[in-house]
Amino acid sequence: CLTATGHPTTAPLDLRCGPEYAQFDANRGEWTQVVVDGDTWGTLCGDGTDYAFYLRLAPEGEPLDKLVIGLQGGGVCVFEEDCSAKLASSPTLFNAQDEIFYGTGVMSDDPDTSPFANWTKLYLPYCTQDVHIGGGVIEDLGSIQLPRYGALNARASIQMVRDLIWKKMDADGGNGFRPDQVQALFGGW
């Protein structure tokens, strides 16, 4: 994708990124839940449902390329006993679409609460119990088969948001999208 910012014509390359690849739209200043197509992106939650994330583009007049990325916490399960217990007691921990996100703390839209109130915000729910590092395997834990797709879910979400920001910034004119000028704060809680 950096190639596309440095070369005006990338026709001979099969790039799957950039403004023409943006797969969804979102209004500025509003939280939007985006469900990721697992067949397209290779994403999956622990209960077999499609992954979903929340995005709030910076309000009008604010730069889109100042970005806060928040990873939801929630522990980890490793063995059959602890994963089975978590699945039985808290099945919502394995489904990102059921996550209800309220912009709080650093993700708050209130400037009195967060210095990042007017930044673009990406919230990545945690539905794989793999510390957001799973590489796309279904782990056999005996009585359960647990998809471990955390890293793929995060990567797809960030790429999708990048393409949307790219599209909107290019449409706004000016210098357009420049990945070398994106400011980002990345963290988990």
pLDDT, tens only, 36-49: 999 999 999 999 99
Look at the alpha carbons of 72, 53, 100, 119 in this order and tell me if their dihedral is positive or negative: positive
Reported as type and span, the H/E element at residue 138 is: strand 137-140
Query: Which of 22, 52, 48 shows the shortest CA–CA distance to 37?
Result: 52
| Interatomic CA distance for residues 183 and 67, integer angstroms | 6
Token reading at 81 = 């006993």
- Confirm if 189 and 105 have CB atoms less than 8 A apart: yes
| Interatomic CA distance for residues 99 and 71, integer angstroms | 13
- Confirm if 118 and 103 have CB atoms less than 8 A apart: no
Q: Regarding beta strands 120-124 and 52-56, do their DSSP bridges make them parallel or antiparallel, or are they unpaired?
A: antiparallel
Going along 11-88, which residue ranges are E strands? 31-35, 52-56, 66-71
What is the pLDDT tens value at each position of the chain, 189 positions in all? 666 666 666 666 666 778 888 999 999 999 999 999 999 999 999 999 999 999 999 999 999 999 999 999 887 999 999 999 998 998 888 999 987 777 888 999 999 999 999 999 999 999 999 999 999 999 999 999 999 999 999 999 999 999 999 999 989 887 778 877 888 888 887
Q: Which amino acid is at 27?
A: N
